[in-house]
Amino acid sequence: MEKNNFVDQIRIFCRSGHGGAGSKHFARTKFNPMAGPDGGNGGRGAHILLKGNRNLWTLLHLRYFKNILAENGEGGSKNNCSGRDGKDIIIEVPLGTVVRDEVTGMTEAEILEDGQEVIWIKGGRGGLGNANFATPTNQAPEYAQPGEEGIEAWKVLELKVLADVGLVGFPNAGKSTLLSVITAAKPKIANYAFTTINPQLGIVEYRDGKSFCIADLPGIIEGAAEGKGLGHRFLRHIERNSVLLFMIPADCNDHKKEFEILVHELEKYNPELLHKQFVIAVSKSEMLDEELIKAIEKELPTNVPHIFISSFTQKGLVGLKDLLWKTLN
């Protein structure tokens, strides 16, 4: 189910509508057989638009629409009648969607708000009819403009999950378990690496009706910035999170080294990620006594706030919510 339902990247062929041709018609009436040019303008080709929809969380609905072909504009006609514009195509996408041209790699649009509409690929302009070219010295122009061609290209849509807090850590650090305890989300939990292969979102209920969104992201491994493990597919989701919660299990061999590896992978992928707010949660700490807690605290960086938690016994989870809310605000 998880594999089939979450699609965060899609490649589609798009073509906006061609503009309709202008008409080169001359009026003929019973009493005036030389009434002059009356060719109308061609209609505009259809645009392809993007619209944000907060109820969508995946690009799955676009998987079976590999070709998006917009309608052409109608040609102009006699009596100065303009052709009908092509009917625009509106593609609804989840918030956090980024659109790029496959050839140039340039970002063309970014959807961040519900209801936000962007003209993604413009349709061709309609041609002018011969009535527009009549002058006192050229009263019977026998030409009109053709419609402008639409734009066609392969495009790539990428979804970067929008969440206030992103869970970062090695596989089996306890991220999914924490998400299942502090939210109503039901991520897959098992005792093997890469149990989570797609981002999972949950809403954390805070005091006085307040809440914030947290994302369980696939586990990082050393070399992820070069594409190892889930690599770039995972790392791009981190770019949207305001706060990064580093999950370091209490039973790991070297807490300081594990944190440094995680930070190093983020820096190699995008140095701007280091400007985000960091919080460290030492998970699976239900068996730690005060002496072990103090020993682990000495390994942790002094400039990053930390807390010891246990999803199993729910130790420190209230304090974690307080710490994350304070950091977010």
- Answer yes or no: is pLDDT of 286 > 70: yes
Contact residues for 42 (Cβ-Cβ < 8 A; gap 6+): 19, 20, 21, 22, 23, 73, 74, 75, 76, 82, 83, 126, 127, 128, 129, 145, 147
- What one-letter code names the amino acid at 7? V
Q: What is d(CA 97, CA 159) in angstroms, rounded to the nearest whole number?
A: 4
pLDDT-derived band at 285, boundaries 50, 70, 90: confident
Tell which wins on pLDDT, 34 or 311. Answer: 311
Q: What is d(CA 13, CA 24) in angstroms, rounded to the nearest whole number?
A: 34
Tell which wins on pLDDT, 153 or 224. Answer: 153
Least confident of 37-51, 84-98, 183-197: 183-197
For 6-23, what is the mean pLDDT?
Answer: 89
**Secondary structure percentages of the chain, helix, strand, coil, to 5:** 25, 25, 50
pLDDT at residue 123 in the model: 95
For 199-224, what is the mean pLDDT?
Answer: 75
For 293-317, what is the mean pLDDT?
Answer: 88
Contact residues for 151 (Cβ-Cβ < 8 A; gap 6+): 14, 15, 16, 121, 122, 124
Least Cα distance to 42 among 64, 58, 21, 56 occurs for 21
Q: What is d(CA 320, CA 328) in angstroms, rounded to the nearest whole number?
A: 12
Domains for the chain: give ranges and CATH numbers.
2-159 (2.70.210.12), 165-328 (3.40.50.300)
Encode pLDDT of 19-31 as tens digits.
Answer: 999 999 888 877 7
Encode pLDDT of 157-198 as tens digits.
Answer: 988 777 788 888 888 778 888 888 887 655 444 443 344 456
Supply the pTM of this predicted model.
0.66
CA angle 245, 251, 252 (to 5 degrees): 70
Which value, to the nearest 10 degrees, does the dihedral of the CA atoms of residues 261, 276, 270, 298 take?
A: -10
Encode pLDDT of 131-144 as tens digits.
Answer: 889 888 888 888 89
For 240-268, what is the mean pLDDT?
Answer: 86
Q: H helices of 1-157, where?
A: 2-5
Least confident of 42-46, 47-51, 249-253: 249-253
For 212-216, what is the mean pLDDT?
Answer: 83
Q: What is d(CA 67, CA 91) in angstroms, rounded to the nearest whole number?
A: 12
- Answer yes or no: is pLDDT of 117 > 90: yes
Least Cα distance to 84 among 170, 147, 160 occurs for 147
Least Cα distance to 216 among 78, 136, 311 occurs for 311
Residue 236: what are its φ and ψ, rounded to 5°? -65, -25
Q: What is d(CA 324, CA 286) in angstroms, rounded to the nearest whole number?
A: 21
